[in-house]
Chains A and B, each alone.
Chain A
């Protein structure tokens, strides 16, 4: 069995589902962040796979992935900074404790 587009997409879907599951079930804000990274990576994998199997000559998907990784790094930085300041304010990083924005 050769590794084709289907296998890459299957792996990507698995990663995405794990990410969503983590996003919905983790209670630690840092865990949420990690789940988000998983989702991003599944998307990256998709992009690269499509680039390789649908337009082998083009570079668009790979370059776009590089962008995504860069932005994800920035996003992680900001998010971590938010978590740190949240912890300073609330002494907790558990998301169920952070519910000030409600009716």
Chain B
């Protein structure tokens, strides 16, 4: 262990263990220990990130965990350890910073809760798991922590275990995530079985040999999409998005930390980590990045329309999160520049979305309700919450110079560069909707008249301090991309490995020339991509350097800001000045708009559809299977038992205890045997 990276996840783990062993019931010490653990992790991450800024070369620090026999290339080793590179350092910073602020916020928010020690224990465990995921040097370690964050999410959504809704929501989250994780695990197994490694550092050199190493029935694109299944579950993309809105049953700080800023971004992070697999799959017959882009785009517009119609403050934010995650995923599908843009948006989104959730928590704390129709005029009563919330709204709406503007702009840019023009248009629509529903939420909550008999008041300092810090970050987080500075892509970018295309062509030729040598030792010489085309390296590297440079284009940022302002304008006309009532808009085109509104308000009946599938299709099918099992399979087994019992009941009569009966049988038997031997055999 040469670098101290491994300590980052272990510090919150230590806090968890100490709390678990000694302070499980201690309402005063347990929270402080958890805060100390994550604060130390944050400090260390900051130190590591400074180091990475100077030396961006990846540092791997791992030891052998398991030798696994099998695979087409013989044994391979699963390692445990850390991988520190700019991508990891960025995530470490985001996770520890948001986690620390959420911890501090929870000191105030959960102050009167009886289970506060348990709450902080879970938070520490989650922080450990998330950090472990972030530093993973290979897919196996990542998968282990992937499931651990899922478990923590389950525990925290179900934190109010006396509420039946919370219990149902946590089960739903867990089960829906498992569906995606199953695909992801299959993807990991395929990759390691055929390539002999799952290390992020080794994949780029080997992935180009897939045509000859992998089986002919399995294009690399399918493997990439299997991995993407995990991201669809964890990052709540359509069609597995249904768990995230329900996850809002958990305490609000949890929603901010897990279901807005960190865990749900793990899917995006995973795709960014294994981006070489997705990129290489564009050579194969299944183009995974395209699928990724469309899934993200669909989720993004789909969730944005739902968010416009909801009245539960946390659900609006949940659908907004879905939509923004869709934005990131859509960016991931748009090539190397898109990967940078997606990670950039992940980075900025973490701050303003956490801020929005914590602000919502502050409001809920004050008015004891989630329904925005029962709120209003809170700006006067809660100035800090109101102003920070406004900053977050401006940031997410993409108004310069706040963070959201820069990252959203880069995504639009990446889409344009990748010639995904229809997605670009769609992303602009989403930007409009985002600005609209965020300001709808803001105006309904903070402006207008206070409801009768409201005793709302500002939250304590422990809650407003994180709000202010996050507001600060929401303003400055995007400034790395200011024209004179080094842009974000300078730190985080994807470069197609030198010679990968070459390697792919050669192995494809080899696979078609000698189909029988597929997956054999003959493939070894072409395993090293760098060796495959050392000659091509310089030009490709130069091209890569150019490709992740971010250029400002007024044709993109002016319309992007324009649609944001338009959304705000519409929201203010409708909800601030009340010149246009939502009902007029809903009824404007008669049945058509009413129908669309009803669909969106009911979340497109996806939950009902799944319920129908489960109850009417799956359960009926299961009942048929159960009938077959009970009557045919069990019947056969019971029949066998009955038969042996009945025949035994008959045959036991022959054991009469009468010696002479035995003797008679013996004599007769012997006689019969003699007759047989005499007449049949001889």
Please state if B660 and A100 are interface contacts (CB–CB under 8 Å): no
Nearest-neighbour CB distance to chain A for B142, whole angstroms, equals 65
- Shortest Cβ distance from residue A12 to the other chain B in the assembled complex, whole angstroms: 16
Interface residue A98 (Cβ < 8 Å from any Cβ of B): yes
Q: Does any Cβ of A come within 8 Å of B667's Cβ?
A: yes
Cα distance, A18 to B650, chains bound together (Å): 33
Question: Residues of B contacting A32 with CB < 8 Å?
Answer: 659
Within 8 Å CB of B653, what residues of A? 103
User: Is there a chain B Cβ closer than 8 Å to A15's Cβ?
Assistant: no
Our pick among B652, B657, B664 for the contact of A100 (Cβ within 8 Å) is: B657
Query: A24 contacts B657, CB within 8 Å?
Result: no
> B657 touches which one: A20, A23, A25, A101 (CB < 8 A)?
A101
Contact B660 A24 (CB under 8 A): yes
CA distance A101 to B659 in the complex (A): 9
Which B-chain residue is minimally distant from A103 (CB atoms)?
Answer: B652
Residue from the list A20, A23, A95, A103 in contact with B658, Cβ < 8 A: A95
A20, A25, A95, A103: the one within 8 Å of B659 (CB): A95
- Check A99–B663 contact: CB distance below 8 A: no
Interface residues of B in 608-654 (CB under 8 A from A): 652-653
> In this assembly, does B679 line the interface, its C-beta being within 8 Å of a C-beta of chain A?
no
Q: What residue of chain B has the Cβ atom nearest to residue A20's Cβ?
A: B667
Cα distance, A80 to B664, chains bound together (Å): 22
Is B2 close to A, CB under 8 A? Answer: no
Q: Which residue of B lies closest to A99 (CB)?
A: B657
Flag if A23 contacts B663 (CB, 8 Å): yes
Chain A interface size range: 10 to 19
A103–B655 touching, CB < 8 Å: yes
Q: How many A-B residue pairs have CB under 8 A?
A: 28
Bound-complex Cα distance A20 to B670 (A): 13
CA distance A20 to B655 in the complex (A): 21
A98 touches B660 (CB 8 A): no
**What's the Cα separation between A101 and B658 when bound, in Å?**
8
Q: Which residues of A contact B655 (CB under 8 A)?
A: 102-103
B656 within 8 A of A: yes
Complex contact A24–B667 (CB within 8 A): yes
- A59 CB to closest chain B CB (Å) equals 30
Within the assembled complex, what's the spacing in Å between the Cα atoms of A24 and B652? 22
B664, A102: Cβ atoms under 8 Å?
no
Query: How many Å from the CB of A40 to the closest CB on chain B?
Result: 15
Q: Is the CB of B652 within 8 A of A23?
A: no
- Enumerate A47-103 residues with CB–CB distance to B below 8 Å: 95-96, 98-103
Instruction: Please name all residues of chain A whose beta carbon is closer than 8 Å to the beta carbon of B656 when the two chains form the complex.
Output: 99, 102
Q: How far is the CB of B523 from chain A (nearest CB, A)?
A: 70
B658 and A99: CB pair below 8 A?
yes
Nearest chain B CB to A86's CB is how many angstroms away? 12
Contacts of B657 in A (CB 8 A): 98-102
With A and B bound together, what is the CA distance between A96 and B667 in angstroms? 19
Per the bound structure, the CA–CA distance linking A101 and B657 in Å amounts to 5
Interchain CB contact under 8 A, A95 and B652: no
| A75 to B657 alpha-carbon distance, docked (Å) | 22
- Quote the shortest CB–CB distance from A25 to chain B (angstroms): 8
Could you tell me which residues of chain B, from 543 to 570, have a CB within 8 Å of some CB in chain A?
none
Residues of B within 8 A of A98 (CB): 657, 659
Residues of A within 8 A of B667 (CB): 20, 24
A95 to B658, CA, bound (A): 7
Closest to A21 in B: B667
B663 touches A24 (CB 8 A): yes
Which residues from B are CB-within-8-Å of A20?
Answer: 667
Chain A residue with Cβ nearest B652: A103
Shortest CB distance A30–B (Å): 14
Interfacial chain B residues near A103, Cβ < 8 Å: 652-653, 655
Q: Which residues on the B side are within 8 Å of A102 (C-beta)?
A: 655-658
CA distance A93 to B115 in the complex (A): 84
- How long is the Cα–Cα vector from A23 to B657 in the complex, in angstroms? 16
Contacts of A101 in B (CB 8 A): 657
How would residues 24 to 38 of chain A score, 1 for a CB under 8 Å from any chain B CB and 0 otherwise?
110000001000000
A99 CB to nearest chain B CB (Å): 3
CA distance in complex: A24, B662 (Å): 9
Chain A residues in 8 Å Cβ range of B652: 103
Which chain A residue lies CB-closest to B658? Answer: A99
Contact A96 B664 (CB under 8 A): no
Min CB distance B682 to A, Å, is 20
Contact call B658/A96, Cβ cutoff below 8 A: yes
Chain A residues with CB below 8 A from B664, complex form: 24
Query: With a CB–CB cut-off of 8 A, which chain B residues contact A25?
Result: 660
Docked CA distance A55–B659 (Å): 39
- Complex Cα spacing A18 to B532, Å: 100
Residues of the B chain whose Cβ atoms lie less than 8 Å from the Cβ of A96: 658, 660
Q: What is the CB-to-nearest-CB distance from B174 to chain A, in angstroms, rounded to a whole number?
A: 56
Determine the distance from Cα of A51 to Cα of B653 in the docked complex, in whole angstroms: 45
Least CB distance, B654 to chain A, in whole angstroms: 9
A100 partner residues in chain B, CB cutoff 8 A: 657
- 5 closest A-B pairs by beta carbon, nearest first, are A102-B657, A99-B657, A103-B652, A101-B657, A103-B655
**What are 22 sample pairs from A and B whose C-beta atoms fall under 8 A apart?**
A20-B667, A23-B660, A23-B663, A24-B660, A24-B663, A24-B664, A24-B667, A25-B660, A32-B659, A95-B658, A95-B659, A96-B658, A96-B660, A98-B657, A98-B659, A99-B656, A100-B657, A102-B656, A102-B657, A102-B658, A103-B652, A103-B653
Q: Using A99-B657, A102-B656 as known contacts, list a sample of 18 further A-B pairs with CB atoms less than 8 Å apart, ordered by residue number in A.
A: A20-B667, A23-B660, A24-B660, A24-B664, A25-B660, A32-B659, A95-B658, A95-B660, A96-B658, A96-B660, A98-B657, A98-B659, A99-B656, A101-B657, A102-B655, A102-B657, A103-B653, A103-B655
